[in-house]
Every structure is written in C-alpha cells, then in structure tokens.
Structure 1
Amino acid sequence: MSVTHTGVTAAPAELEPCGQPHHPDCGIRDVLDRVGDKWSVLVIVELANGARRFRQLQRAIDGISQRMLTLTVRRLERDGLVLRTVYPTVPAQVDYRLTETGASLTHLVKALADWSLEHRDTIAHARQAYDAQHPDNEIR
C-alpha cells in the first residue's frame, strides 16, 4: 500500500471513490469499516426484527458493554442507518429502528450472520489444526 493511499484513507471520509487507479477503494473502506464491524452487524441483525429499546438491544447482543452499544448506535445513526426516537415520557423512552437505508442492508448482514453460524464449527476446527501445526505462532 502506498503512502499516498494511506494518507487518502486516513483523511475525513469522502463517500465517492477518488478514482485514482492506485487506490480505487477510497470512500468504500469508510463505509465497510462501519457496516462490517462486529457490533454494527449484530445491532443491524437485531434491529432487522423491529424497533428495540436500548436495554433490549444490550440484552440481545451478548458481550456488548453499555458504552460500546452507545457508540455503535450513535455511529449507525450518524451514518443514516439507524433512527433514534425519544418519547416525551418520564423517564424518557428511547427506541432504535433501522432507516430505509439500514433496512436495505439486512439481507446482506443476515446472510453473513447465517454463513457465520453455518461455518463456525468448520472454522473452529481449522483454527485448532492450524494452531497445532504452528504452536509458536501468535495469530489468534
């Protein structure tokens, strides 16, 4: 990867590819980083089933901390994938739902989640075999 490429992708995100032949993924990486991170995928999968309150999301997504869930839904909201609605009650109720753009991702994200479930045992066995053959390797 060239120094120029790193500089371009490290800059504030522009969603249109820059079109330069030596780094055609400019703009794409930023979006894929968001929709491809593990917490975003799990939030999108959960919200594909309908609107959820914060605690419902947190209970449904094993291992996510309150802070990480807050950051994830804020980032997804910023990207226009999740809509946050605050209801004027005491205490205030907040729910999250997918926007039309977010909903358009669900078939892709669910397919990835389904694939992961279907192949997790095969991948676990492959990892065990690799680790047995390469005991000094620190890739984990």
Structure 2
Amino acid sequence: MTTKDDFEARCPSFQAAIELVGRRWNGAILMAAQDGARRYSEFLAAVPGISERVLAQRLRELDAAQVLVREVQPTTPVQITYTMTERGKELALAVQPLIAWGERWLGRGSEQHDG
C-alpha cells in the first residue's frame, strides 16, 4: 500500500516526467530522434505539422532537460546536430509501453471503453 510519504516523494518526479513527455510535440520529437533524426531539417520532416519556431523551441527545451544534446560542428556552413543522451534513451524506453497502450486503447479502430 502506498503511504502519503511515498506519494509525496514520487508525485513531483512523476508529474515532471509526464509534463516533459506530454508537452505538445515532445513525444513526436523524441520518437524522431530515436528513429535517427539528428539535424533540424530531419526533425522538421519527421514531425508533420510542427512549425519551425515551435520545433526550435522544443529542441532547446529537450536540450535543457538533457534528453537531447545539441552539438555544433565547426564546418562551413556550421552544422548543428541533436543526439539522444543516455537520459533520453532511457526516457524513450520508458515511453514504449505508453505507446503500446495508446495504440491498443486509443488508436484508430480501437474500442474507446472497456468491455
């Protein structure tokens, strides 16, 4: 049985994780990174419907959260790549069961209720 102390200790961490993954577009960006997207243009192509401004903002947020790491390549022209950190890889693994649940219970053609 979960005690009040257990709940209070876990709730902020759980809430922070859900907010990070649940922020609009972050899940799609995370999946694109897992599928090999590294450059801004690759993320833009992999996440249909996202605006350039929002993509730039979300990439900065995921970099700040240490889910992705932004690397500047000193080439001409300068190339910027984003790669998943260990934290990001672990987050992507943690999200897989949620994706499976969504496909089963919320995907097209699925039943929207138990029964």
TM-score bracket, normalised by the shorter chain, equals 0.7 to 0.9
Secondary structure of 2:17's match?
A: helix
2:63 is aligned with 1:74 = no
Q: Structure 2, unaligned stretches of length 5 or more?
A: none
2:31 aligns with one of 27, 45, 58: 45
Question: 42-51 or 108-117, which moves further after superposition?
Answer: 108-117
Match of 1:57 in 2: 43
Letter matched to residue 35 of structure 2: N
Q: What CA RMSD, in Å, does the superposition of the two structures yield over aligned residues?
A: 2.4
Take 2:55 and 2:100, find their aligned partners in 1: how far apart are those partners? 22
Describe the superposition over 1:58-108 as per-residue Cα deviations: whole angstroms up to 9, x where unpaired.
100111111111111111110111011111112211111100111011122
3-state SS of 2:25 partner: helix
Structure with larger Rg:
1
Distance in 2, Cα, partners of 1:70 & 1:49: 19
Query: Match of 1:98?
Result: 84
Contact 2:69/2:83 (<8 A) preserved: yes
Q: Residue 105 of structure 1: SS of its match in structure 2?
A: helix
Report if aligned partners of 1:45, 1:110 keep a CA contact under 8 Å in 2.
Answer: no
Between Structure 1 and Structure 2, how many residues are aligned? 106
| Preserved CA contact (<8 Å) 1:48 1:98 | yes
Letter in 2 for 1:99: T
**Aligned letter for 2:43?**
L
TM-score scaled by length of structure 2: 0.76
CA contact (8 A) 1:81 1:101 kept: yes
With normalisation by structure 1, the TM-score equals 0.64
Does structure 2 retain, via aligned residues, the 8 Å contact 1:86–1:94? yes
Q: Which amino acid in the other structure matches residue 108 of structure 2? A: D
- Between the aligned partners of 1:67 and 1:37, the Cα distance in structure 2 is 15
